[in-house]
Amino acid sequence: MTHTTLILGATSAMAEQTARLLAADGDKLILAARDPERLEILAKDLKVRGASEIQVLPPFDASKADTFDALLDEAGEVDRVLIAYGSLPDQEALENDPAGIRREMCTNFGSVIDLSSRIATRMQAKGSGTLAVISSVAGLRGRQSNYIYGSAKGGVILFLQGLRNRLQPHGVRVITLLPGFVDTPMTADIEKGPLFASAAKAGACIHKAITRGKCDVVYVPGFWRFIMWIIRAIPEPIFKRLKL
């Protein structure tokens, strides 16, 4: 059985890798992103990889909430939605830039919960659907080097937890995706270490979570569950003294 999957932020490296696998399943893919030229190239590639149909939506910018309903209307009825966009700001530069903090919170939190709410209402009315959202392990504990990004992602985690609880009786699945370090354009300036996964590996984890998995909260890759278990177990009086 093939599905119709809407991907918001389809040009993200992790979304692209996930989309390749959904295309190979023969899914219909509906793509939305800011850059129409990159989206056209991606659409052609996914068609070659086996997608039964590709629909490209008008440019999608997470800061333009007044376009969201029209975008979802144009996508029409979908079985699955993957929210994949996000931005990783320079934490130090933001510390004295309240407007920048507001902008980043809008991209990584406000717009994500806005879209999730609109999608949830549509899926609830239909009585089925899967909403998968990429948050981050950064949202599980605040640390000095990225607590602005982390708090936005943490807010998304809590929001999805409540949404899952609300939608459970209505046949709608809500999946929280928690990647650790993934080698994508977002982390291009960060020195790579052994904990980094490739975008292809992350895409495979996300594809599995959406198509075959049963888990509500999925670490990407899975070993991050153990790392975060340890990090979260460190008592706050010790944690606050660490340089993380």
Ligand X SMILES: NC(=O)c1ccc[n+]([C@@H]2O[C@H](COP(=O)([O-])OP(=O)(O)OC[C@H]3O[C@@H](n4cnc5c(N)ncnc54)[C@H](OP(=O)(O)O)[C@@H]3O)[C@@H](O)[C@H]2O)c1
CA distance readout (Å), 149 to 33, 39, 116: 21, 26, 19
Whole-angstrom distance, CA of residue 147 vs CA of residue 150 = 5
Q: Does 123 engage in binding with ligand X (CB under 6 A)?
A: no
Q: Does 53 bind ligand X (CB under 6 A)?
A: no
Does residue 35 belong to the site contacting ligand X (CB under 6 A)?
yes
- Report if residue 84 touches ligand X, rule: CB under 6 A: yes
61 binds ligand X per the rule CB under 6 A? yes
Residue in this structure with the two tokens 């029209």, named with its chain if needed: 70
- For the bound state, the minimum distance from the C-beta of residue 241 to ligand X, rounded and expressed in Å, comes to 25
User: In the annotation, is 149 catalytic?
Assistant: yes
Considering only 36, 162, 185, 222, the residue that binds ligand X (CB under 6 A) is 185
**Residues near 220 by beta carbon (within 8 Å), at least 6 away in sequence:** 177, 178, 179, 180, 182, 197, 202, 205, 206, 209
6 or 33: CB nearest ligand X:
33
- Say how far apart CA 41 and CA 94 lie, in whole Å: 34
**What minimum distance in Å lies between the beta carbon of 10 and ligand X?**
7
Cis peptide before 36 (omega within 30 of 0): no
* β partners of residue 174: 131
Closer residue to ligand X in complex, CB, 74/128: 74
**How far apart, in whole angstroms, are the C-alpha atoms of residue 206 and residue 82?**
9
Beta bridge partners, 5, equal: 29, 80
Which residues, 6+ apart, have CB-to-CB distance to 11 below 8 Å? 33, 34, 35, 38, 39, 42
Beta pairing class for 28-32 and 53-56: parallel
Per DSSP, what are the bridge partners of residue 130? Answer: 80, 173
Q: Binding to ligand X by residue 81, rule CB under 6 A?
A: no
203: contact with ligand X by CB under 6 A:
no
Binding test (CB under 6 A) with ligand X, winner from 4, 5, 12, 176: 12
Contacting range for ligand X; rule: CB under 6 A; set: 10-18, 39-47, 74-82, 166-174: 10-18
134 belongs to the binding site for ligand X (CB under 6 A) = yes
Matching residue, tokens 């340089």: 243
Residue 2 interacts with ligand X (CB under 6 A): yes or no: no
Partner residues linked to 176 by β-bridges: 133, 217
Cβ proximity to ligand X: between 55 and 187 the closer is 187
Total residues belonging to the chain: 244
Q: Which of residues 208-237 bind ligand X (CB under 6 A)?
A: none
User: Segment near ligand X (CB under 6 A), from 31-39, 70-78, 115-123, 211-219?
Assistant: 31-39
Instruction: For residue 187, state whether it binds ligand X (rule: CB under 6 A).
Output: yes
Which residue is closest to ligand X by CB? 86
Binding site for ligand X (CB under 6 A): 9, 11-14, 33-35, 60-63, 84-87, 107, 134, 136, 179, 181-182, 184-187
Could you give the residue numbers annotated as active site? 149
